[in-house]
Every structure is written in structure tokens, then in C-alpha cells.
């Protein structure tokens, strides 16, 4: 047996060197992959690129100038409403693309990006890191093992305790930039719900309100400038009414409740609140032979626990029939409990070798479509909204060329 030559080092680019640039640092591994090119229209982003990736990195104001740097793949880490143009530009050039979630903020743009990837046969990957979150992978494994029978319902409560600082002091607070937080923030959880349930939403209804931050009159008078969330975040400011310097425009909801029926008949609910004192996600998966629930999610350093109840008892019973703690989870580490590193590892492997991935561009599109449908429903008083299906030719292309993990078997509709 002869030794195989080492795989060539991947040449990576980064478009948008801001809050999520840390993802690209996880990919910067001499011998495997190296960030050689960055683009950011802001001076702060360009300075950060040099600091993060060293003096040898090429720095540009325009992402179009990066092609001359001979790239194998790029990370598109711009604000959400600026994903579409660079993603399509590099796909057209045959450069593999990582797009931070959500894929885009409109369904038309999602489908344009997918169509470009399919037409050019260029690899597209979307950063839904919750599919690599240890606590969720543990819950998914239990479902696959049949621990609770066939899945019938999935619930998620998202307590966004830092919502004021994270989403109401900058562009996230504006409908024109995000569509709404059920898309921008909710795409994470909606995708995870779909993954746990093994289907995608087709019928959606929702209610929501701008209950707290809309009444806060302490708004910035002008542009945000180069400031980022780490410049103003202060965990000691409480209650939410004590926050100052909110974005001049605040017109997205700060509390929302969504009900969906998936294409496989599973029923789901998702609740998102941006003014709770705690910050974590609670998922409950209910089957016809039991239920699974997480206490803590491991993202903020809290030690999560997953509990399984699958024996009949009367009354409230905090002790479960089976309990799994953080030591039993598949991965651990920094960055969303190790999820960011696992996400980047999968992307680099996909760039180099192709094949199946646990994330899915089609699933990312479905999360956006569900978030948009839910936002439409809540802004029309809770009317039922149907989620448009992806064009069959695009669905077929990705099923053949980039199969993602749809989920466990569930009953038909």
C-alpha cells in the first residue's frame, strides 16, 4: 500500500468580518485550511481581519475583488439582508459558499441562491449550528433509537434573556433588515424543530406583539456607527425598561407564539420571548410511547441535562426514567457547546469531499419559509398561512447531490 499525498490546503475567504468572524477562525488551520482573503466595507472589519488572520491575509473593501486571491471556499458572515449578493457571486464563480443562518431574509432570495448553486453545481452550506449542539444531537439520537416511539409533537420555548441588547439596539430591530425575529432568531429553532420531527412546516398560524421594547422611548438619535453588541452589552442592566440607546427604529415583535402542522402530520409549537431574565432553550419531543425534554442547553456554559419519561406514572415526577447529562453528550467545547467547531469541521469536509451533511440548504430554506409564514400570520391577526414548497427540480437536485438529514421516521400526513 502506497502512501497517499496530503490533501491540498484549502484557501478560504471571509465576507463580513463582524460578530460571527470567530467561525472562520475555527477553520484557519495551517495544513488543512487557511484564511487568505477578507472583505469588509467598514474600517473596523478590515482591521479585525488583520488581527484575526495575520499579516499575510489579503484585505479588500469589496468582496468582488477577492476572486483574484484564488479561493476554494468563502464564509459569508455579513448582516442577514446582505447574504444574497455575495453568496450568488461566489457560487457563479464556482467557489464553495458557507452562508451564516438565516440563509436570507426573503423566500425569493433563498430560492435564487439555491437555484444558483444547482445551476452551477457549486457546493452551498448554511450555518445551522444547532444541528451540531450536543444537547440536541442527544435528543435526536434518542428519537432515532425509538426511546419514545413515533414522534407526534415537538415544542420549543426560547427564553431570549439578552434580547434587548442583542436585537433591539441595532439593525435586528428593523423589519426592513430582518423581516422579523421569528425569521432572524427563530430560524435556528424552527430548523431544529423540523430536524427533531423529521418534517417541514406546511401550515402555520402565529400571534405576537411588540410588548416591551416598543414602549421604551430611549432611542439613539443617529446611526450606530462602528459599534457592535460587545461594546454596549451589560448583563447587570435590569429590567428591560432600564435599557438605553435602543435602535431609532423598533418595529419587530419581542414576543411571539407559533403553531405549525408539518408535512408528515407532526404538530409543533414555538414560543420566543425577548424580555425574560434567563437565556436558554427548552425543547420537548412527545412520541406515542414517551417524551424527551432538555433542562439547560449548554450554550451559555450551563450544564445541560436530557430527561426521558417513557413509563406510566401519576402526578408530577421530576425524576425521569432515564437521565443523560453533559458528560454523555457527543461533543463538547467552546462556541455554542462545541457546535460551532463541529459545524466548521463538517463544512471543510464538504468542501474537500462533497457528500451528505447533517445541515441542509433545503432545510435552511424551509426554516426561512416557516419564519416568514409565521410573521405574516401574526401580523394579520393569526390567520392560517400555507408555506410554499420548494420547486421540485431544486428539491431533487439537492436530494441527489447534497443529501441532508431530514429526520426520524414519523407517521404520514
Per-domain boundaries in the chain: 131-339
Q: Are 285 and 292 in contact (CB under 8 A)?
A: yes
**pTM, two decimal places:** 0.94
Q: pLDDT by residue (tens digit) across 19-50?
A: 899 999 999 998 999 999 999 999 999 999 99
Mean pLDDT of the chain, nearest integer: 93
Determine the 3-state secondary structure of 256 from DSSP. Answer: strand
CATH of 131-339, one of 3.40.50.300, 1.10.287.3510, 3.30.360.10, 3.30.300.10: 3.30.360.10
Average pLDDT, stretch 4-32?
A: 89
Which tens digit of pLDDT belongs to each residue from 210-262? Answer: 999 999 999 998 888 888 999 999 999 999 999 999 999 999 999 999 999 99
Cell of 69: 486571491
Cα 358-155-297 angle, rounded to 5 deg: 60
C-alpha to C-alpha distance for 272 and 274, rounded to whole angstroms: 7
- Helix locations, 122-185, DSSP H: 134-144, 163-167, 175-178, 181-184
| Close Cβ partners of 308 (under 8 Å, ≥ 6 residues apart) | 142, 147, 148, 290, 291, 292, 320, 321, 322, 323, 324
- pLDDT tier, 314 (very low <50, low <70, confident <90, very high otherwise): confident
Name the grid cell of 369: 419559509
Mean pLDDT of 130-157: 96
Average pLDDT over residues 78-98: 98
Whether the Cβ atoms of residue 297 and residue 278 lie closer than 8 Å to each other: no
Bridge partners, residue 305, by sequence: 295, 325
* 8 A C-beta contact, residue 71 and residue 24: no
- pLDDT, position 403: 83
Tens-place pLDDT, residues 383-413? 999 999 999 999 999 999 888 765 554 443 3
Q: With the C-alpha atoms ordered 15, 21, 23, 26, is the resulting torsion angle positive or negative?
A: positive
**DSSP alpha helices (H): ranges in 20-162?**
22-27, 43-53, 84-92, 107-120, 134-144
Dihedral-angle region of residue 317 (phi above 0 means left; psi in -120 to 50 means alpha; beta otherwise): beta
**Is 355 buried (19+), middle (13-18) or exposed (0-12) by CB count in 10 A?**
exposed
Looking at 136-150, 202-216, 334-348, which range is the least confident one? 334-348
| Greater model confidence, 47 or 317 | 47
- Express each pLDDT in 267-313 by its tens digit: 999 999 999 999 999 999 999 999 999 999 988 777 899 999 999 98
Lowest mean pLDDT across 5-19, 39-53, 115-129, 244-258: 5-19
Provide the pLDDT for residue 405. Answer: 63
**CA distance from start to end of the chain:** 52
**Measuring CA to CA, which residue among 299, 282, 304 is closest to residue 338?**
299
Amino acid at each position: 500500500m502506497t502512501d497517499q499525498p496530503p490533501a491540498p490546503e484549502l484557501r478560504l475567504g471571509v465576507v463580513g468580518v463582524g460578530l460571527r468572524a470567530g467561525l472562520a477562525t475555527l477553520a484557519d488551520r495551517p495544513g488543512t485550511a487557511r484564511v487568505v482573503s477578507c472583505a469588509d466595507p467598514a474600517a473596523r472589519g478590515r482591521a479585525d481581519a488583520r488581527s484575526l488572520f495575520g499579516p499575510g491575509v489579503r484585505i479588500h473593501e469589496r468582496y468582488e475583488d477577492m476572486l483574484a486571491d484564488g479561493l476554494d471556499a468563502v464564509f459569508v458572515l455579513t448582516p442577514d439582508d446582505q447574504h444574497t449578493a455575495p453568496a450568488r457571486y461566489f457560487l457563479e464563480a464556482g467557489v464553495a459558499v458557507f452562508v451564516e443562518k438565516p440563509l436570507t431574509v426573503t423566500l425569493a432570495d433563498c430560492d435564487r441562491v439555491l437555484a444558483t448553486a444547482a445551476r452551477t453545481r457549486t457546493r452551498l452550506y448554511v450555518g445551522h449550528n444547532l444541528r451540531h449542539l450536543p444537547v440536541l444531537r442527544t435528543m435526536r439520537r434518542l428519537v432515532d433509537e425509538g426511546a419514545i416511539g413515533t414522534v407526534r409533537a415537538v415544542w420549543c420555548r426560547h427564553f431570549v434573556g439578552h434580547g434587548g441588547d442583542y436585537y433591539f439596539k441595532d439593525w435586528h430591530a428593523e423589519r426592513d433588515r430582518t423581516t422579523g425575529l421569528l425569521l432572524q432568531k427563530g430560524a435556528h429553532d424552527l430548523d431544529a424543530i423540523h430536524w427533531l420531527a423529521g418534517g417541514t412546516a406546511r401550515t402555520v398560524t402565529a400571534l405576537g406583539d411588540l410588548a416591551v421594547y416598543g414602549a421604551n422611548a430611549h432611542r439613539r438619535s443617529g446611526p450606530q456607527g462602528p459599534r457592535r453588541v460587545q461594546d454596549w452589552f451589560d448583563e447587570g442592566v435590569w429590567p428591560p425598561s432600564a435599557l438605553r440607546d435602543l435602535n431609532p427604529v423598533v418595529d419587530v415583535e419581542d414576543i411571539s407564539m407559533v403553531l405549525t402542522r408539518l408535512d408528515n402530520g407532526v404538530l409543533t409549537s414555538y414560543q420566543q420571548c425577548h424580555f425574560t431574565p434567563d437565556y436558554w432553550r427548552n425543547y420537548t419531543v412527545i412520541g406515542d410511547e414517551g417524551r424527551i425534554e432538555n433542562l439547560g442547553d449548554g450554550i451559555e456554559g450551563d450544564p445541560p441535562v436530557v430527561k426521558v419519561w417513557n413509563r406510566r406514572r401519576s402526578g408530577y415526577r421530576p425524576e425521569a426514567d432515564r437521565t443523560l447529562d453533559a458528560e454523555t453528550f457527543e461533543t463538547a467545547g467552546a462556541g455554542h457547546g462545541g457546535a460551532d467547531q463541529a459545524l466548521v469541521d463538517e463544512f471543510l469536509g464538504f468542501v474537500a469531499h462533497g457528500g451528505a451533511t447533517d445541515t441542509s440548504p433545503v432545510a435552511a430554506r424551509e426554516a426561512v419559509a416557516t419564519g416568514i409564514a409565521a410573521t405574516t400570520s401574526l401580523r394579520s391577526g393569526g390567520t392560517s398561512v400555507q408555506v410554499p414548497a420548494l420547486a421540485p427540480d431544486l428539491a431533487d437536485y439537492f436530494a441527489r447531490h447534497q443529501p441532508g438529514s431530514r429526520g426520524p421516521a414519523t407517521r404520514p400526513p
